[in-house]
Structure 1
Amino acid sequence: MPPETTRRPGLRPTTRPTTLRDVAEAAGVSIKTVSNVVNDHPHVRPEMRERVKVVIERLDYRPNGIGRQLRQGRTGLVALALPNVTSPYYGELTSALVTAARARGITLLVEQTDGDLEREREVANGFPVRLVDGLVFVPLTMPGGELAQRRDSTPAVLIGEHGQGSGYDRVTIDSVALGDLGVQHLLETGRRRIAFLGDKSSEELRPPVAAQRIEGYRNALQRAGLEFDPGLLWPLPEWELRHGYDGARALLAARPDVDAIFAANDLVAVGALHALRELGRRVPEDVAVVGVDDVEQARYSAPTLTSIALDRSEMADLALGMLADRLAGHQGPERLLTVGGRLVVRESSGG
């Protein structure tokens, strides 16, 4: 016969959390009285309030905050949907958003989409991010026109270069200016055969962020009076370390005259640095390298990586500020706030 569980006032089985009923029984009062104390109702005698609070403290009772917030029409939860949290850029952006949300008394629920179109559609239509007040969304593949038709009415703010034409508030990055800034710096160091590492195999497949950075790349070349060479736009399957490594090796095999690489992001740039080291190309003497994002890894690569820093804290604050406006009832047209970049010169370009 299994042992009998003895229940005494003030004690509870440790297999479940304390309930209002547990507190009421231990304090010798009604559940309604405990509820009134928890919700700070004024019509409770001071001695009764103190008696219940002592029992609450002793039993470590935790009110069901979500239930209370739901009754008030708010959960205090905001969903963050982004491609992944393993890449340095998205990981640091997530950290900035968590910090900014905490300062506003908001809890973030993170959903990873892997940049998959169907998963982005699920997020846009409310799955699996129900019971949230709002959505911060970093789409990669879902077209802006399709986003504009989302069925879910939860207020949303987008971050990034994607989502144009969606009708939603957006915090975007001026990637045209970033491309211009990176290539201009390389030109100022005397480079003339500058490759862009991170294009796609065709213009139809080129995402907005790549298209904008290439536009800035071409603008800088044009100002310098240099002819644009489409052969220096080198395609990559993804902007990851291994693709930067493989792409740089293939690029230098096809175009040994390249004297600089403007990488689509820092991961691509670090992969390229490794390839150049294996190929015996000195950095920056033979080939200079510039990346984008200024993730922590850029400061510890060998050589250290020149990169264009993006203020992720500013992006997070702007996005949550616009979302808070919508939750407060703002009904105006879509807003677009743009964040620029700052060049951080290190060893890979001669800094």
Structure 2
Amino acid sequence: MTGRPRLADVAARAGVSMKTVSNVINDFQHVSADTRARVQAAIDEIGYRPNLSARNLALGRAGLIALVVPQLDMPYFAALAGQVLQAAAKRDWVVLIQQTGGDLTVERDALAGRFPQRIDGLILSSTAVGSAELRKRTDRTPLVMLGDRNYQGAAQHVAIDNVAAAAAAVTHLAELGRRRIAMIGSSPGDRRHPRLVGYRLAMKAAGLPIDDRLIKPVRNNLGEEGEQQMTALLAEHAQDPPDAVFCVTDWVALGVVRALRTRGFRVPEDVAVVGFDDIPYGRAATPTLSTISPDRSAIARLAVDSLQAQFEAAAAGTAYEVGEQQAAFRLVVRESSGG
């Protein structure tokens, strides 16, 4: 055989019609197991690869989904993008990746479907869009929201249980005997921040007082912010510094560790530190960083599967009920908290 194998070549090798080969490739259920096996064997023998453009056209698909995140240079989002690429490839989708920089206008453009190409679905990790705005959305492109915000049923939402995850981190610190546990990454008055909610619940469950002066916000999730806020905490509480710190991201936690060590505090002997996200840098830091590790693979798979289900529902003219889907997480104890 010369040239690229064709659908007709597969049909001839398997002794079936081209329509039957197409049905097998598109995983139609009414093909018998014996016929399916013969067609698959023929595909493998001659090295046939489906024309995805033609296949997508036949299925009414663009063959493209979009992943829109705040910052691609943040390790968490870079790792998540890799998992989304893998999950999408299993469904023959190519992924368009876009960075918003936390710009609300860019997020709104994505929600409105303003992309250079038609897409079959959108996965968005937003820093600004809320449930009220999502309810006003007119674009019908399948949508999955990521992140720790509460969208109150306005869109399909995939995340870990951020309240439980934060509580697990703080409970770990309390069980080590730490009593003045600070939190860096939220304003004390932000009652909707799920990781702050988890912090407060764990402190209460451990019978520890909650001192709002030990809760510091960050403008963005950078190590420099963590270092700055930890430096401020040490200055403000020179006589009675915290003996543990829970940070909303690993990036922030690495800055916290730097602030502590440059000012003569030992980690974890004097101050234990736990981060969030399990980024690769935390595993190579000195000390290695205790953290909450979200199942990014599951987050990506659930998001892509939901896009597929929404796409199929729209094609069939049936309703898709949006809701919350949670992926697993685990506490990883390393050197920064005595592991």
Counterpart of 2:139, as a letter, is: D
Q: Deviations over 1:62-94 (max 9, x none)?
A: 998547634641121111111121101111111
Matches within 5 A, 1:198-277: 198-200=185-187, 203=189, 206=190, 208=192, 211-256=193-238, 257-277=241-261
Deviation at 1:108, TM superposition (A): 0.6
Counterpart of 2:323, as a letter, is: R
Question: Which residue, 77, 81, 85 being the options, matches 1:98?
Answer: 85
Counterpart of 2:221, as a letter, is: W
Question: Which residue, 129, 141, 161 being the options, matches 2:128?
Answer: 141
Q: Deviations over 1:246-268 (max 9, x none)?
A: 11111111123211110111000
How many pairs were matched up? 295
Question: Which residue, 67, 72, 79 being the options, matches 1:85?
Answer: 72
Find the aligned partners of 2:129 and 2:115 in 1 and give their Cα distance: 17
Change in CA separation of 1:39 and 1:301 when aligned onto 2, cut-off 3 Å:
same
- Please give the secondary structure, in 1, of the residue aligned with 2:164: helix
Find the aligned partners of 1:189 and 1:72 in 2 and give their Cα distance: 57
| Equivalent residue, structure 2, for 1:182 | 169
Question: Which residue, 155, 159, 168 being the options, matches 1:172?
Answer: 159
8 Å CA contact retained: 2:70, 2:100: yes
2:283 is equivalent to residue 299 of structure 1? yes
Give aligned-pair identity as a percent.
Answer: 39
Find the aligned partners of 1:289 and 1:43 in 2 and give their Cα distance: 62
2:296 is equivalent to residue 309 of structure 1? no
Change in CA separation of 1:156 and 1:76 when aligned onto 2, cut-off 3 Å:
same
What TM-score do you get using the length of structure 1 for normalisation?
0.78
2:105 is equivalent to residue 118 of structure 1? yes
Deviation at 1:332, TM superposition (A): 3.0
| Equivalent residue, structure 2, for 1:162 | 149
8 Å CA contact retained: 1:147, 1:166: no
Find the aligned partners of 1:137 and 1:166 in 2 and give their Cα distance: 15
8 Å CA contact retained: 2:191, 2:197: no
Question: Which residue, 333, 338, 342 being the options, matches 2:321?
Answer: 333
2:309 is equivalent to residue 322 of structure 1? no
Change in CA separation of 1:110 and 1:302 when aligned onto 2, cut-off 3 Å:
same
Find the aligned partners of 1:163 and 1:188 in 2 and give their Cα distance: 29
Deviation at 1:198, TM superposition (A): 0.8
Find the aligned partners of 1:79 and 1:124 in 2 and give their Cα distance: 11
Change in CA separation of 1:43 and 1:280 when aligned onto 2, cut-off 3 Å:
closer
Change in CA separation of 1:43 and 1:246 when aligned onto 2, cut-off 3 Å:
closer
8 Å CA contact retained: 1:146, 1:166: no
The range that moved more, 88-97 or 338-347, is 338-347
8 Å CA contact retained: 2:153, 2:324: no
- Please give the secondary structure, in 1, of the residue aligned with 2:268: coil
8 Å CA contact retained: 1:145, 1:166: no
The range that moved more, 96-105 or 63-72, is 63-72
- Please give the secondary structure, in 1, of the residue aligned with 2:281: helix
Find the aligned partners of 1:179 and 1:43 in 2 and give their Cα distance: 56
8 Å CA contact retained: 1:85, 1:112: yes
Find the aligned partners of 1:144 and 1:311 in 2 and give their Cα distance: 25
Counterpart of 2:223, as a letter, is: L
8 Å CA contact retained: 2:228, 2:259: yes
Question: Which residue, 263, 267, 271 being the options, matches 1:287?
Answer: 271
Larger gyration radius, structure 1 or structure 2: 1
Deviation at 1:313, TM superposition (A): 0.1
Find the aligned partners of 1:123 and 1:197 in 2 and give their Cα distance: 31
Where does the alignment leave 5 or more consecutive residues of structure 2 unmatched? 13-48
2:56 is equivalent to residue 69 of structure 1? yes
